[in-house]
Amino acid sequence: MKHTKTPKPSTTYREIRAKHTPKTITVYQAYSPTIAIPALEAQTLVPPFSRSRMTWIKPSFLWMAYRSGWASKPNQEHVLAIEITREGFEWALRNSCLSHYTPGNDIERDEWQAKMRASPVRVQWDPERDLDLGFRPLNHRSIQIGLSAEAVGMYLDRWIVSITDVTGVMKKIEGLLKDGDVEGARACLPEETVYPLSEELQELLKMGRV
């Protein structure tokens, strides 16, 4: 009798880890000095930042480090820690659409495409990165949230509580890693813990193991 192998369960999972308080959550964005410096002064994003374009926020400090090359890529020389209300963050999640279609979900491709076109928020899950200079990908999937249309205005005008420049911290961590001081670098990271979400939002975002 021929035996079939039982498929191994997936070890990849989606989880939001972030620096958060009972009322706020911190997300990260990287910009050029022409956008970052006025934002720090105004404590919100102001021109030449464009409200008409999609803007991506990331709760993971390490994913922001990976994306910006430790704040070294062109137009990403300043990394901003932007504290926003949890109410606003969860509104964004509740009104979001996944940016990639997954066959076998409870929605047909045409329906997903229509929802994505209508949604002011897109969600993307990408491999979280390890604390090393090569940014080794991990099994944990980290969330990116793209805001457009009405969501951008709400983000700028209602959700932002504070903006802080954390470029210096990011550069310090990079320097410690180059010196081989991994533990010292780890001690400088912001404390990011699992962000609690309702079962409704977890299902909407297709969280858990994938």
Between strands 55-57 and 121-129, the pairing is: unpaired
User: Rounded to whole angstroms, how far apart are CA atoms 20 and 83?
Assistant: 9
pLDDT bin (cut points 50, 70, 90) of residue 72 is: very high
Residue 128: φ, ψ to 5°: -65, 160
Q: What is the pLDDT of residue 3?
A: 41
- The answer, yes or no, to whether residue 23 has pLDDT greater than 90, is yes
pTM: 0.89
Q: What is the pLDDT of residue 106?
A: 61
Q: What is the pLDDT of residue 152?
A: 97
Which among 121, 62, 65, 66 is positioned nearest to 89, based on CA atoms?
A: 121
Q: What is the pLDDT of residue 209?
A: 56
- The answer, yes or no, to whether residue 6 has pLDDT greater than 60, is no
Report pLDDT digits (tens) over 149-177: 999 999 999 999 999 999 999 999 999 99
Residue 8: burial class (beta carbons within 10 Å; 0-12, 13-18, 19+): exposed
Cβ-defined contacts of 43-52 (< 8 Å, 24+): 43/160, 43/162, 43/163, 44/156, 44/157, 44/160, 44/163, 45/156, 45/160, 51/152, 51/153, 51/156
User: Rounded to whole angstroms, how far apart are CA atoms 198 and 98?
Assistant: 17
Which is it for the CA torsion 181, 182, 185, 191, positive or negative?
A: negative
Average pLDDT over residues 181-195: 96
With beta carbons less than 8 A apart as the criterion, state whether 146 and 92 touch: no
